[in-house]
Amino acid sequence: MTFELHPNLQKKDFICDLDFCRVLFEDNRNYPWIFLVPRQENVKNMLDLPTPARLQLMREIERAETAMNRLFKPDQTNVAMIGNMTPQLHVHIICRFKNDAAWPKTVWSEKPIPYEPDEKQKLIKQIKQEILKDD
Amino acid sequence: MTFELHPNLQKKDFICDLDFCRVLFEDNRNYPWIFLVPRQENVKNMLDLPTPARLQLMREIERAETAMNRLFKPDQTNVAMIGNMTPQLHVHIICRFKNDAAWPKTVWSEKPIPYEPDEKQKLIKQIKQEILKDD
C-alpha cells in the first residue's frame, strides 16, 4: 500500500498521524481548522472506504473534534467532506465562533489570512498535544 | 424521549425514517440534496451523540449516500455537518456535478431554485424507494 497526499494537501502543515488518518493544519487565522486524511491509497470519497474503515474514520473525527473543542471552545464545529477541488478524501474540522469572519455562513468563500510563523508552530504543537493526550 | 424538528427543518419535505435518522429533502433543483437528522432530543452537533450513536449515524450516511449515488451518478458527493443557522444536527448529502450551478465551489452561497411540485413528488418517491431498497 502506498499512501500519498494530493499536491493540494502536501502544502498543508503536518500535525500528527493517528492509526488511520493523517492530521493536517489549515493556515488560516480566521478559524482553528484541521483536516483528517485517511492514510490509504486511492480514496476519493467516503464510499471508497469499506464500512469498518468508515467507522474508524468516524472515531478519529470524534477524537479530533473533541480535542479541538477542548482547546478552542468554539460556538459550533463544522465537519465536512467536500472534495470538489482536491479529489482525495479529507475531512474538514473547523471551529466556528459567532464573531468569526464568515459567521453564520460557511468558510469556503472567505480569503484565508495566514498566521505568523511562530504563532502557527505554537498552535500546531498545542493541537498535536491535545489530540494525542489520551494515547 | 421527545424528538422534534427545528423550525428550519420542519419546512423541508419528509422522505422517510431510518432506524436512527429522519431523511428530509432540500427543494433546490440545482442539486439532488437530502438531510439526515438523528431522531433524538437535544442533539446540536455530533459530539452530543455517544460513540455508538455516531457509528449508527455513519452507517446511515453510507446507506443514504450509496442510494443517492446509484440514483443520480454524481461526479462527487459533499457530506457536511454545518449547523451555524440551524442548531440541530443535520447531515447534508449533496450530489455534485462538474456542470452544476456552483461547481467547484460549495453550494451554500447559491440561491435555491425550487422544483415544480410534480417533479418534486416524483423525486422524493424515487429517493425513498432507493434508500429503502435493501430493507
> What SS3 class is residue B70?
helix
Which range, A1-5, A20-24, A130-134, has the best average confidence (pLDDT)?
Answer: A20-24
pTM, two decimals, is 0.96
Judged against a pLDDT cut of 70, whether residue B61 lies above it is answered with: yes
**Region B7-98: CATH code:** 3.30.428.10
pLDDT band at B110 (very low <50, low <70, confident <90, very high): confident
> Is B76's CB within 8 Å of A87's CB?
yes
Q: What is the pLDDT of residue B32?
A: 98
> Is B47's CB within 8 Å of A104's CB?
no
Query: Which CA distances in Å does B96 have to A42, A109, B29, B69, B72?
Result: 20, 17, 12, 10, 9
- pLDDT, one tens digit per residue, over B66-79 is 999 999 999 999 99
Q: Which ipTM value was assigned to this complex?
A: 0.95
- pLDDT, one tens digit per residue, over A52-101 is 999 999 999 999 999 999 999 999 999 999 999 999 999 999 999 999 99
Residue pair B131/B16 in contact (Cβ under 8 Å)? The answer is yes
Nearest CB to B58 within list A55, A66, A69: A55
> What SS3 class is residue A38?
strand
Q: What is the pLDDT of residue A1?
A: 63
Residues of chain A in contact with residue B69, where contact means CB-CB under 8 angstroms, are 47
Judged against a pLDDT cut of 80, whether residue B135 lies above it is answered with: no
Find, in chain B, the residue whose alpha carbon is nearest to that of A60.
B51
A residues 8-27 lying closer than 8 A (beta carbon) to B = none
Locate the domains of chain A by residue range: 7-98
Average pLDDT over residues A30-48: 95
Residues of chain B in contact with residue A61, where contact means CB-CB under 8 angstroms, are 46
Q: Which amino acid is at A42?
A: N
Q: Is A78 on the interface with B (CB under 8 A)?
A: yes
Distance from CA of B129 to the nearest CA of A (A): 20
What proportion of chain B, given as a percentage, has pLDDT over 70? 99
Q: What is the pLDDT of residue A109?
A: 83
What is the DSSP secondary structure assignment for residue A25, as one 8-state letter?
E
Judged against a pLDDT cut of 70, whether residue B1 lies above it is answered with: no
Distance from CA of B85 to the nearest CA of A (A): 6
The gap from C-alpha B51 to its chain's centroid, in whole angstroms, comes to 21
Scanning the structure block, which residue is given the C-alpha cell 499512501?
Answer: A3
Residue pair B91/B36 in contact (Cβ under 8 Å)? The answer is yes
Q: Is A80 on the interface with B (CB under 8 A)?
A: yes
